Structure 1
Amino acid sequence: MTANALDKTPVTLLGLGAMGTALARTWLAAGHPLTVWNRTAARADGLAAEGAAVAATAAEAVAANRLVIVCLLDDDSVGAALDGADLTGKDVVNLTTTTPAQARERAAWATARGARYLDGGIMAVPPMIGVPETGGYVFHSGSPELFEEHRETLAVPAGARFVGADPGHAALHDVALLSAMYGMFAGAAHAFALIRKESIDPAGFAPLLTEWLTAMAAPHVSQTADQLGSGDYTTNVVSNLGMQTAGVPAFLATAEQQGVSPELLLPYFGLMRRRLAEGSPQEDLTGVVDLLLR
């Protein structure tokens, strides 16, 4: 063990899928002593050659170090891996994708077994891990003390952002941002479908689409947040609900003429029309948020 490694927090990592392996390599490269475990043991061979200690069982890996990072398939996998481990005095950071409710339940489960707990939501794909300029980061929520103590270690693979003591808030932030991403992807898919049969080069169209989404997204998101906070959906409106809803037939007619299904747009257009029927045409689109609440 090098002198540099002696200054670094030892880490245990459970789970060596694509993301887990990327995380492992960044901690190893930064000089952290690393113990790994994976249900399919062969996945650890490459990391062993790079200096990781390989545990035969999850319980053995947990016993090796105080800081335990979990990056498995789902919450059931987390329970199965940790069920036979002694968590007394351990700091468990669960980076497995779960729901907010599962995160809260897992936090209570870990705390009852003597551990401190953080839940995490990884806002990155494996190639972004260990590459700060890509902008990847991880949401963390749960024990503030655990986060502050291990902040530097947690930030090695990607930026570490604490979003509150409620263990469910990291998962909620994660899913909220990803939901917006998929909505954006849906709009992009519809846009490409509209031009698909025309003599329009998708590669030439792509920069136009990127520029437009970039120009529209930031002001819209900021204004929606401001209006939700104030409760006044008519503040600083540029294109009101009445005007935007009046344009819907042109979008649907264009889709029909191009032979494109409008199914990605119809739910949102339906909400716009509902809000117009029960609200003010002078509002922004923010009222759609309230229609989604059950």
Structure 2
Amino acid sequence: MTNDIKPRVVLLGLGAMGTALASAWLSAGHPLTVWNRTASRTEPLRALGADVADTAAEAVAAGTLVITCLMDDASVGDALEGTELGGKDLVDLTTGTPNEAEARAEWARERGARFLSGGIMSSPSMVGVPEAGGYVFYSGAREVLDEHESTLAAVLGVRHTGSRPGSAALYDIALLSAMYGMFAGITHAFALVRAEEMPLREFSGLLTSWLTAMLTSTDTVAEQLESGDHTRNVQANLAMLVSGFRTFEVAAREQEVDFRLLAPYLELLEERLGQGYPDEGTSGAVELLVRRA
């Protein structure tokens, strides 16, 4: 299949992720027009066959599918200010909040463009490597995604989260929040054993296998939240967990390790236990996090 048969991609933003996306689209045979505020970043892609636009407006004029992968939502507004978006399909892969995506969708509609918001669940090294498992959450009109799915899927997997423009950003942030929580626990774990006899690389293997085994608990949490019964299939109840958790705090003190990474979670579980739910698992703590009017 020749380049002129595949749809052209217009890409604004050539940071690490944008450059990886651009290279993958070129490798997949898509004609590509790129723009970046720092022009020097475009030169390696020009050498690979990309068309380089001097301005964002010039880039947008080159094709129907316009992809933004910029620093933040404000950068998207700045880059597209004064461009002609009528009849374009704008796919925003810039990291932002759900509310920003909702506002940007309305902004695009007012300018005659269809809009999809995307949340990238991948590192740059995973782009264009299907077996790496990277993908993008997309939200917005399903028919817009259907029209461009083969082009978008040429670089990363495609998952539609719903018609509400902000839902892709929400799922992106939810998964990343869980990741950072895991990183906090890993950091604390290494702090505890940093000076022990076991080599840290050996401990790393134990930590990886333990965390992998514990990941099955997410299905239980989902089942409890969907049923509203936080005691369903509980293996260790809240009373037991809080008691053990308090021991962790003492042990950290003994090892001269600051407990600040885990203390907020202990406080949350203690609060739920204090409300009179000793037989629940941890899913009941979600009720304390959700703010209700």
Q: Tell me how many residue pairs correspond in the alignment.
A: 291
Distance 2:106 2:67 in 1: 17
Distance 1:49 1:185 in 2: 39
| 1:154-182 superposed Cα distances (whole Å, 9 cap, x missing partner) | 01111011111100000000000000000
Distance 1:279 1:63 in 2: 62
- Which of the residues 191, 203, 206 maps onto 2:204? 206
Q: Which residue of 2 aligns with 1:232?
A: 229
Pairwise CA distance, 1:249: 2.5
The answer as to 2:112 corresponding to 1:119 is no
Q: Which residue of 2 aligns with 1:92?
A: 90
Distance 1:217 1:278 in 2: 27
Provide the secondary structure at the position in 1 that maps to 2:215. Answer: helix
| 1:161-216 superposed Cα distances (whole Å, 9 cap, x missing partner) | 11111000000000000000000000010000000122221100011101111101
Q: Which residue of 2 aligns with 1:255?
A: 252
Q: Which residue of 2 aligns with 1:67?
A: 65
Consecutive unaligned residues in structure 2, runs of 5 or more: none
| 1:206-249 superposed Cα distances (whole Å, 9 cap, x missing partner) | 1110111110122x111111111111111111101111111123
Distance 2:180 2:2 in 1: 42
Distance 1:249 1:117 in 2: 49
Distance 2:161 2:124 in 1: 22
Q: Which residue of 2 aligns with 1:272?
A: 269
Provide the secondary structure at the position in 2 that maps to 1:250. Answer: helix
TM-score after normalising by structure 1 = 0.98
Distance 1:249 1:140 in 2: 41
Percentage of matched positions with identical amino acids: 58
The answer as to 2:155 corresponding to 1:135 is no
Consecutive unaligned residues in structure 1, runs of 5 or more: none
CA RMSD, 1 decimal: 0.8
Runs of 4 or more above 4 Å deviation:
none
| 1:228-285 superposed Cα distances (whole Å, 9 cap, x missing partner) | 1111111111101111111123211110111100111110011111100103211111
Q: Which residue of 1 aligns with 2:103?
A: 105
TM-score after normalising by structure 2 = 0.98
- Which of the residues 147, 159, 168 maps onto 2:157? 159
Provide the secondary structure at the position in 2 that maps to 1:117. Answer: strand
For residues 159-178 of structure 1, the aligned pairs below 5 Å read 159-178=157-176
